[in-house]
Amino acid sequence: MTSHKPSTIALPDGRTLSYATYGSSLASSSHIPIFYFHGFPSSRIEGALWDDTAKTLDVPLIAMDRPGMGHSTLQQNRKLLDWPDDVLALADHLDIKEFGVLGVSGGGPYALACLSAVPEERLKVGATVCGVYPLNLGAQGVLFLSRALFWGGKWLPRVTAAVVDHQVGQRARDLDHPERFAAKIKQQMVASGPRVDKDLLAAKLKDPAWADTLVEALRQSQRESGWGTSIDAGILGSDWGFPLTQVDGKRLMMWHGVLDENSSVRMADQAAELIHPAAYHRLEEEGHASLGYGRMAEVLSSLLVKSK
């Protein structure tokens, strides 16, 4: 695993955008770089879990902190469609002309937003992995906790931020006893879900470096407060500002496990019908974690092939 030290840029509106680079270097790789959009809640450090795979495939991977998470400045009243502008600002700063996007779990909507707003001459390919989809497709199969956060973030953002801070943030920022947060996260990761997810996570968590990276990714999501999580939840639970039919399906690959208990496969099925002609990989024996953490090479390889 690599260093978690962030890089930052100043955005046109004065906000700070934080990111980290993984995989191959921009200067040496022969492939287009991929911007990585982390799950909910998480941070740029989640991208480090993909570092070894990205290096093997010679892919530059640029993982970004969303506003209010990690070292990125909180952005009140932000919308999902604000994100493509931040991505383009970072791409311009890094002198990247062409790129791909990869959104995992709660990062999926941000990949779709980019594919609806960024022209093909810049954004060549995108993928969602066990992604979240609009609640107007029906929330059946979505975890109750996720639905509660989405509703609270939309209608009671201040209360939701306070609850997140009390339940998660204070423990995450407890530098005197960081092991308490780590133990809680590890316990929760294997407490529920299909057997395929539990087995993969139990095996992965035996690797101290992998476990520490996962914990730190979640810890950084609460670095300042619970506001980043609350606003992110509200965005995911609100109208996204564009119909799925506006997403350019010919540039998109969707990956979803039928056994996923975090993100509903029924919603993914409906989304795939709307985002025509997206390539939909519907995997019968995969869950949420088993797909997100177990199919990295397959996902990245397919992005490279589709970008040609």
Amino acid at 187: Q
pTM of the shown model: 0.97
Q: What average pLDDT does the chain have?
A: 96
Instruction: Give the pLDDT score at 308.
Output: 82
| Residue carrying structure tokens 């996204």 | 240
Dihedral of CA atoms 86, 87, 93, 99 in degrees, nearest 10, equals -170
Tell me if 123 sits within 8 A of 139, measured CB to CB.
no
- The answer to whether 110 and 69 are in contact (CB under 8 A) is no
DSSP per-residue letters across the chain: ------EEEE-TTS-EEEEEEEES-TTT-SS--EEEE--SS--GGGGGGGHHHHHHTT-EEEEEPPTTSTTSPP-TT--GGGHHHHHHHHHHHTT--SEEEEEEGGGHHHHHHHHHHS-TTTEEEEEEES----GGG--TTS-HHHHHHHHHHHH-HHHHHHHHIIIIIHHHT-TT-HHHHHHHHHHHHTTSS-HHHHHHHHHHTTSHHHHHHHHHHHHHTTSS-SHHHHHHHHHHHS--SS-GGGS-GGGEEEEEETT-SSS-HHHHHHHHHHSTT-EEEEETT--SHHHHHH-HHHHHHHHHHHH-
Domains, the chain, in order of start with CATH, read 7-307 (3.40.50.1820)
d(CA 20, CA 39): 15
Average pLDDT of span 48-61: 98
pLDDT in tens, 241-298: 999 999 999 999 999 999 999 999 999 999 999 999 999 999 999 999 999 999 999 9
Here the contacts of 291-294 (C-beta below 8 Å, separation 24 or greater) are: 291/129, 291/130, 291/255, 291/256, 291/257, 291/260, 292/39, 292/104, 292/105, 292/129, 292/130, 293/49, 293/200, 293/201, 293/204, 294/200
Express as a percent the part of the chain with pLDDT over 90. Answer: 93
Instruction: Specify the pLDDT at position 143.
Output: 83
In the chain, % of residues over pLDDT 70: 99
Structure tokens at 42: 């998480």
Q: Note the pLDDT tens digit of each residue in 141-174.
A: 788 888 999 999 999 999 999 999 999 999 999 9
pLDDT for the residue numbered 202: 96
